[in-house]
Amino acid sequence: GAVVSQHPSRVICKSGTSVKIECRSLDFQATTMFWYRQFPKQSLMLMATSNEGSKATYEQGVEKDKFLINHASLTLSTLTVTSAHPEDSSFYICSARDVRDYGYTFGSGTRLTVV
Amino acid sequence: AQSVSQHNHHVILSEAASLELGCNYSYGGTVNLFWYVQYPGQHLQLLLKYFSGDPLVKGIKGFEAEFIKSKFSFNLRKPSVQWSDTAEYFCAVGQGSGNTGKLIFGQGTTLQVKP
């Protein structure tokens, strides 16, 4: 089945630094990928839709200059949290949509802790 | 605005009891419907999905869901739950056709099955 690899799984960074999270579709092409944020005991909140070769579409309230998304190829999207602060600490999850069956496959998530 | 609502936030059942988790959505266009499960410490796994055809969908692990278009509902059911079904369950709605439709999640339902 379709597999999405997300790295790193855990990262701790200092306040003010930037962190890059990668999301790769391993055995299928994904022209569209999605980035979510999940707080403890809560649901997944869609942050942005990443489109290969074009600018990402951000949901209302998500700062595009803080959460930089790049989708440079059909199998890779990256999320960079810039100038991270403790309130950015969260669980970030990516998802890729398989053009073959329109199913959504999720990465295993990245636990970001900003200290 | 589009939304997905799960009415049961926390459900506690004994083993062998029947389960039904409610899910309603508000979106007038073409939708794809999904139920995902998240076991403690693990990533999201697809239980079942509905795109078209028979509104009664059978998924993995004995789960099924029924799409009732007139009620904008997609309730999840299982005749007899097991202790291993303890997890977080999310209903999700994919909007639009093609491979660009974003996936919106409900708030999630925590299921606790007592042995």
Report pLDDT digits (tens) over B4-62. 999 889 999 999 999 999 999 998 777 889 999 999 878 889 999 998 899 999 999 99
pLDDT higher than threshold 90 for residue B65: yes
Asked if B99 lies within 8 A of A99 by C-beta distance, the reply is yes
Asked if A32 lies within 8 A of B43 by C-beta distance, the reply is no
Asked if B105 lies within 8 A of A49 by C-beta distance, the reply is no
A10-38 confidence digits (pLDDT tens): 999 999 999 999 999 998 888 889 999 99
A95 vs B99, B103, B110: nearest CB: B103
Rounded to a whole number of angstroms, the distance from the CA of A43 to the nearest CA of chain B is 5
Could you give the CA distance from residue A38 to residue A102 in angstroms, rounded to a whole number? 23
Q: Closest by alpha carbon to B85, among B49, B58, B61?
A: B61
- Amino acid at the residue A2: A
**pLDDT category of residue B100 using cuts at 50, 70 and 90:** low
Question: What φ, ψ does residue A57 adopt, rounded to 5°?
Answer: -105, 120
The CA dihedral of B16, B18, B24, B28, to the nearest 10 degrees, is 110
pLDDT higher than threshold 70 for residue A51: yes
Average pLDDT, chain A: 92
Q: What beta strand segments (E) does chain A contain?
A: 4-7, 10-13, 19-25, 32-38, 44-51, 57-58, 67-73, 76-81, 90-97, 104-106, 110-114
Question: What φ, ψ does residue A60 adopt, rounded to 5°?
Answer: -60, 135
Rounded to a whole number of angstroms, the distance from the CA of B76 to the nearest CA of chain A is 17
